[in-house]
Every structure is written in C-alpha cells, then in structure tokens.
Structure 1
Amino acid sequence: EPTPAALDLLARIRGQQGRLAEAEALWIRAAQLDPGNTDYAAGLRRIAQMQQRSLSRFPWSRAIGLLLLALLVAGSWLVVAKLSQFEGAMRGIAGQTESLECRIDQALETEPTQEPALTPALADAVRQLLQHDQDLKVFALTVDQMGLAVSLSGTVPNAALKQRAETLAKRVGGVSLVDSSGIFVTPPPLTSAVREAIRTDARTAELDIQVEQIGNGVRLAGMVPNVEARMAVEQVARAVPGVELVDAVDVRIEPQFTHYVVHTGDTLASIARRFYGDAVLWPIIYRANREKIADWNAIQPGLRLRIPLGEDRSAQ
C-alpha cells in the first residue's frame, strides 16, 4: 500500500499534468490514510477550484449563439432539446463541484480534535549522512523533503557518485522515495592536470604529448621513442585524480634509424652483414631507401643510407 506522502507527491504531479480527476482520487486516498494532514485537504480544494475556473472560462455565450444559429437555419426542435440538455449537464457539473467542496469542509469538521501526524525530519538525517561521506562531502548536495520522500540536487563529477548519494539517502529509516534527478554529472577539467603531470614526471618530461578530454577520460597523441615511454605516458595520465579512462592509441613509437655512407665495394648485403650480422637481411635496408636506390645490385659510393634499428627494423 503506498504511503500518504507518496500518494501526495503523485497527486501533485497529476495536478500539474492537468489530470485533475486522478489527482483528486489520490488525495482522497491520502486523506483516508492520514486524515489529520491538512495538506491533502488543501490539495482537494485546489482541484475543486481548478474545475470551477475551467467551468467559468467556458464560452457560454458563443456556444449558445452557435446553437441558436443552428436552430434558425435548421428550424428543428431537436436543437432546442440538445441545448437544454447541454445547459443541464453544465449546471450538474457546477453542482458537483460545490458538493465536493462541502464534503471536504465536512470531513475537516468531523474530527477537529485529532492531532496531525508528525513527519520525521528525514532531510536532516540524509544531509548529515552525505556530509560525513568522504567522497560526497565536498560537493554540498542539497536535500529537500516532501512527506516521506526526499529529493537530491547539485553537481558531481561522475555517475558513480550520483548513485552513491541516492544509495545513502535510501538507507535513512523512514525514507520511502528518493528523487536524484536534480543531481547533474559534470566531469572536472582534466586536460591541464594531465599535461602538467606529463611535464613534471622525469620519465615523460621531454615528450611532446597532446591531451584531449572526453568525458571523464583523456585521449593522448604524439610520438615516443619506445614502448617503455608509451607505457610511462599512459601510467602518468591514469594517475591524475578524476581520470577514469586513458586512450593512448594515437601515442605512436617513432622509427629508429642510423645512417651509413656507401664506400667503394659496398653492397646492400655487405652493409646488412655489418649492421645486422646477416647478409640476407639486405631487403630491410633497400625498403628503407627505395627512393634513393635505382639498382639494388649496384649502389653508388657516397650515397647516404638510412639503416633501420630496433623495433622499426623488426617491423620491416
């Protein structure tokens, strides 16, 4: 069975949506469960007033004029009969509205000595719980109470903290409903913090790394000399408070080369033997210098060749 507070909250929502009949039924149920609460009776009065205003704004003169015009054109007694029925129905609605107000007043007068039910101070209990939480106390979330329901509002840097605030509020005894839709997730600025961390870390200080924030994560881009440097960049970025995701796909390892000037009598095979210890690896040097070598079997003295080393050599 829903609590009176929950029925009251739902009735207010239905009233704002213009669903007056549903709002009236919910407030009547709430008043039956908690007859001493004057808020429910006040809600019923507002419904009655809204119905009466809706009735009073109805364009009677225009409607009757149109019906009379139809009577003159058609010359039918049926139009007169329908007009009479229409006016009678409207008067009946007005009578029902007045009767409803009378019933509300009578219901309030029948138990004048009953003490109103006390609503526990749930908002204070929830507020204290949030203020003592190590992760949430710095955000000063706002807590409002309506009956046995509480609503939370404010700003947190991630969805996990929003969920934590809602979970803590539900732990307070007596809370029947928690509305956390007023808590907005706004990620903290991370770009400057990550750049500064990379600049001040000895392992990454000399690297030119671009940083772009995406939600609660960062995307890194740039060139590094080796796998160790790439891992260091990613580790430094991940250690920055607030960073939940690091995308280092665009951090690439730059090719490593040395250079050699061809002497008389050199061949690609002899150069490969000199640098790699194996003459059959000469195609690695050829592919790295394809634009310079017209004939791989006859390289010219004085030609300056790039010799791939390390990881770039294995890739070739």
Structure 2
Amino acid sequence: MLFNIKLIAQVGINTSDPKATLDIKAKIPSGTDTTPEGILIPRIDRIRAQSMLNIDLSTLIFVDNISTGTLAGNAVNIDSPGYYYFDGTVWRKQDSSLYNTNGTLIGNRIVAQNNNTLAFTGTVKNAFSVDGTTLSVDAAGHRVGIGTISPTQTLDIEGTARLSQKITSNTPNVLSNVQPLYISNSNGAITYAPKGFTTLSGGFRPSENSSSFLLASLPRTNTIVNVRFVCYVDESTDANNDNPLAYTYGDFTIIGTANANPAKIVGNSINIKGSDGNSKTSTNTDTSITWNNTPTTTISITLDQTTGELKLTGDINENSYMFEFLGGI
C-alpha cells in the first residue's frame, strides 16, 4: 500500500498525488481480480448510535442491528439497517425520500406539471387521503369519500353539500336541459329522475343564437310529451317591461306512435296566451308553431321528425323563455 502525506495536509492512499483532503485510489482499478476494495464505515447497533454524545455534524455510520435501542431521541429514524448521517439533531437515513421515510414540509412547494401527468395507483381502501376523513380515495372500490374513509357510493358525502351557480349577468344561456334528481331516504343516494318525469330547460334568448336553441331531443315513436312555456322580459330596466305583448305563456302536446306516424305537434292541443289571458293568433303545422310576441317579433318552435329535435328561434334580445316537459322525454 502506498501512503503519502503532502505538506498541504492532503492524504493519499494508493496514490502519491492526492487531489483532496483524503484521496483513496483503488489498488486494482480494473479487471477481474477478486480482492475486495472499498471503504468500511463504522458498523454499530442502534443502541450504540442512540447513546452517542457530542456528535459532529455529517458523521456517517452503518447501523447493522436494530433489535437494540428504541425509535426515540436521536435514533427516531433508525428503523432498518443501513447508512445514517447526523444532521446535528438526529440520525437520518442516507437514502431517505418521500417513498421510504415520513417527513415534514418546511415551506410551500409547487409542482410544475406542464404537459406531464401525475397519477396515483392503489389497491386498498383509503389509498389516498387528506386530513383523515376530509377526503378519502377508495382504490379498491373505486369510490371517493368526503367526511368518511369508507365510502359506499361512487361519491359518498357524510355531511352537508352546497351547489351554486354564480350568475353575474342574466344574459347567458342558463339552466339548459336541467334534469331533476331523486334522493333516497334510506341511504342518501342521488340519482337522475326516471324517463317520463319532468325536465326543465330555460334562460333562452333566441336572438343571441344565430341559428336556434335546442330545447329537447325527443323519441320519434312511442312518446307523448306535454310542453309548457313562459316568455318574459328579464331586464328590469328595459322598456319592454311596459309592453304587455312581450309576455306570453302556453302549452302544447307532441305525440309519436310508430314509424309511420312519428312525433308531431297535436294541432288542437296548442294553447298560447298573452298577458291579458286571451289566446294569441299562431300559425301551426305538425312540425312548427309561429306567433308574434310584439308587433315586430316572430317566435318559432320547430320539431324535426327525423331527429326528434325541438328547437326555438326568435329575433329579440330582451325576451327569455323557460320550458317544462312532462312525458316521454
């Protein structure tokens, strides 16, 4: 073995030209020789590491036995054999990371995903959780729990819930194709109302759509639907508030029995009235209803017998429409 000490306090082992405070070169740096080479760090058991005092920062050891001592004091992290270094307070694993050691954030952290995905996989209940029962993911049952770590539904909320639609201006298309919900008294499950129940569409301003608004897609056959609607002025400062002709309400029925007799508007079921309660004059066919809401405004409801689409068209901005459907929709 070559051992060399320079006057500049650098020590070399197997080299006469050390490049650092301690420079160790392999005696046989290549080839198939079977002689072991390397550095042996002091090997001690856990209680020996736990008993040390006045330990210098960055001291390195190898713990080969954890059956002695306890997970406490400066040995609180020594739970398996391996390399440990001293951080000034406790021994820490040399290879510690999120995946093998618990830890504590000491500041805010941001993960910039950019166009990369971040996925978690698991096979057990409560595979991922936030603050106990605040949020729990059941990877075994493919469920999410809020307020519970044992969800029984796809989304299980133990507590209260709030649904809100913040509307800053009463101008957009809102409440389009809304469907009622059922809540089970026995288990709190929420489901869509069955076919044939009442559905609601509304907030339509025909002139804001260059073509038309789709009110509903109806079955062509084996269907009967009663349609009710109201037309109103939803701008409180608009001059049309003073125009009784701007307010309309009514109902009509659509029936389709077979391919040879597809869905159509039943002529004698059409009932359209103005604010005075009197019937308004309308032009009606099996597939359309047209009338005037004001002296200059024409409104049309059309039915496509091929697709079953029921649509609304018009040419005034102030009027809004709400529709209710009862039947086979």
TM-score range, shorter chain: under 0.3
Give the number of the structure whose residues are more often strand, by fraction: 2
Give the number of the structure whose residues are more often helix, by fraction: 1
Q: Which structure ranks higher in relative contact order (CA pairs < 8 Å, sequence separation ≥ 6)?
A: 2
